[in-house]
Amino acid sequence: MENPESSPLKAFGRNVYRSFFRYGRLPQDAEGQSYAVFNNLFLHIHPVKVSRHSLRFSYTLGLGVIATALFLVLTFTGIWLMFYYFPSATEAYGRMLDLRSAVDFGFVLRNVHKWGAELMVLVVILHMARVFFTGAYKPPREFNWLIGILLLLLTLGLSFTGYLLPWDQLAFWAITVGTSIAGYAPVLGQPMRRFLLGGDVVGQEALVRFYVLHVVILPGLLSIFLAVHFWRIRKDGGLSHPDDNDPPAKGGAR
Amino acid sequence: MKKKNVRMQQPQMDRRTFLTALGFGGVGLSAVIAAVGNLLYLKPAVDYGPPSVIRAGRPEEYKEGVKEMLEEQRVVVVRDKKGFAAISVTCTHLGCTVRTSDAGFECPCHGSQYDNDGYVTGGPAPRPLDWYQVSVAPNGELEIDKSVKVAPGTYFKA
């Protein structure tokens, strides 16, 4: 009789399991817990140790995390919407109506994408306000504040480009007015407007340009700068906390 | 023959610095060229928009004193004693379509007001409505060229 412990299948299963959970499923000691966190791709953005202040919910209100979660939700619902949406001046509006009425759960995806987008703009602005009021824009975090401003602009850009895609009256006139406002900028205004619209009026060209910006270029840029944003949080010593504002010890650098 | 005493002049720049500058310069230059190329690629080269020359029917179809709105083409054809005129109904403020009003035209978006000749009488519009060139095509139809602007008050006599 073969020993069940040494069967090749069992060994294979154990190997697979060990390659996923190298430090046991729930390590109990501090060292094991640290290893488990920084050897996991999805957890390693966390520092091994955080300040007690960072954990107080009322300090951050979780706004950065909420904004990131919304971005993920918008990415996935957006990819799902792309299966039915078509950026064509004759098709787009009908496809949007079909998503609302005919496609199973289409209205859920569309509404989650739409309301999530509105919420993301709001949350990103609130996050910026939180960072301002807690003084987290001050050195050494001033570079990350600039990255944050870039992320705000990209969020607004995504919001603006996405607004045209339903191709209804609201979308058409909003973008007509919005790009006309851009056209008032000195010197660069009119060329910028033509670049955005691909012509002189909002039409098929504008729809394709806004679509490419909305589904590829702006989310791509936002992902890159989001990574830089997280990386800077770690490099700048985690979230801002009250000890930051204490005067540095005599003769010692902070 | 006496050998001439040639002393090498101390070079202004050593080889390493020169090659480094050359390398960075080359990379920088190609980056600039690539950027310009990409911008040119994105510049709209072909106009896929609506045609700028439109036909507006035969002149006899317009009675004197009429203001005929061509909604698709965003232009209003005016006929009065002085002749024909084609006035743009694109608001000069932010591009909405103006509608005809008792006093002339008004914009539903931000409340710009114009008189019958398209001059601004109120609201945020910065300049009068555009007037387009009107002529008669060889087949006798009125032809409006939206790419040629004429001074307000320029009428075409059919």
Rounded Cα–Cα distance for residues B149 and A178 (Å): 24
Which tokens sit at B104?
Answer: 């002339």
- Residues of chain A in contact with residue B96, where contact means CB-CB under 8 angstroms, are 173, 176-177
- Residues of chain B in contact with residue A198, where contact means CB-CB under 8 angstroms, are 44, 48
CA A44 to chain centre: 18
List pLDDT tens digits, range A157-195: 999 999 999 999 999 999 999 999 999 999 999 999 999
A·B CB contacts under 8 A: 37
Of residues A21 and A128, more confidence is placed in A128
Question: Does the pLDDT value for residue A98 go beyond 90?
Answer: yes
- Which own/partner contact pairs does A104-109 have at CB distance under 8 Å and 24+ positions apart? A109/A77, A109/A80, A109/A81
List pLDDT tens digits, range A118-140: 999 999 999 999 999 988 998 88
Cβ-Cβ contacts under 8 Å for B86 (sequence gap 6 or more): B56, B75, B76, B77, B78, B131, B132, B133, B134, B144
Of residues B97 and A41, more confidence is placed in B97
Q: How far is B133 from chain A (nearest CA, A)?
A: 19
Q: What's the whole-number mean pLDDT along residues B76-95?
A: 93
Q: How far is A151 from chain B (nearest CA, A)?
A: 23
**Cross-chain CB nearest to A177 (options B42, B49, B94):** B94
Burial letters for B99-131: b for 16+ Cβ neighbours within 10 Å, e otherwise?
A: eeeeebbbbebeebbbeeebebeeeebeebbbb
**Cross-chain CB nearest to B95 (options A177, A194, A204):** A177
Best A169, A176, A212 member to test B by mutation, with max B CBs in 10 Å, is A176
Interface contact B48-A204, CB threshold 8 A: yes
The pTM is what?
0.84
**Contact in structure between A124 and A151 (CB atoms under 8 Å):** yes
Q: What is the pLDDT of residue B7?
A: 65
Return the closest-CA partner of residue A106 out of A94, A115, A97: A97
Q: What is the pLDDT of residue A109?
A: 96
Q: What is the pLDDT of residue B90?
A: 94
At CB < 8 Å, which residues of chain A contact B? 173, 176-177, 179-181, 194-195, 197-201, 203-205
List pLDDT tens digits, range A193-212: 999 999 889 999 999 999 99
ipTM > 0.85, yes or no: no
**Cross-chain CB nearest to A173 (options B47, B93, B96):** B96
Question: Does the pLDDT value for residue A3 go beyond 80?
Answer: no
Question: Does the pLDDT value for residue A38 go beyond 90?
Answer: no
Cβ-Cβ contacts under 8 Å for A212 (sequence gap 6 or more): none
Interface contact B109-A173, CB threshold 8 A: yes
Return the closest-CA partner of residue A222 out of A121, A148, A165: A148
Residue for token pair 């033509």: A194
Interface contact B49-A199, CB threshold 8 A: yes
- Residues of chain A in contact with residue B109, where contact means CB-CB under 8 angstroms, are 173, 177
Which tokens sit at A232?
Answer: 């800077």
Nearest chain A residue (CA) to B41: A195
Q: What is the pLDDT of residue A254?
A: 38
CA angle (A162, A164, A167) in 5-degree steps:
130
Interface contact B48-A177, CB threshold 8 A: no
Q: What's the whole-number mean pLDDT along residues A132-150?
A: 93
Percent of chain A with pLDDT over 90: 65
**Contact in structure between B144 and B134 (CB atoms under 8 Å):** yes
Banded pLDDT at A46 (limits 50, 70, 90) = confident
Best A88, A90, A172, A180 member to test B by mutation, with max B CBs in 10 Å, is A180
In DSSP notation, B74-137 reads: TEEEEEETTEEEEEE-B-TTT-PBPEE-SSEEE-TTT--EEETTS-EEESS--SPPPEEEEEE-
Q: How far is A6 from chain B (nearest CA, A)?
A: 60
> For chain A, give me the number of helices (H) and strands (E)?
12, 0
> For chain B, give me the number of helices (H) and strands (E)?
1, 10
A184 φ, ψ (degrees, to nearest 5): -80, -15
Which tokens sit at B109?
Answer: 């978006």
Helix (H, G, I), strand (E, B), or coil: what is residue A45?
coil
**Contact in structure between A240 and A61 (CB atoms under 8 Å):** no
Banded pLDDT at A246 (limits 50, 70, 90) = low
- DSSP class of residue A243 equals G
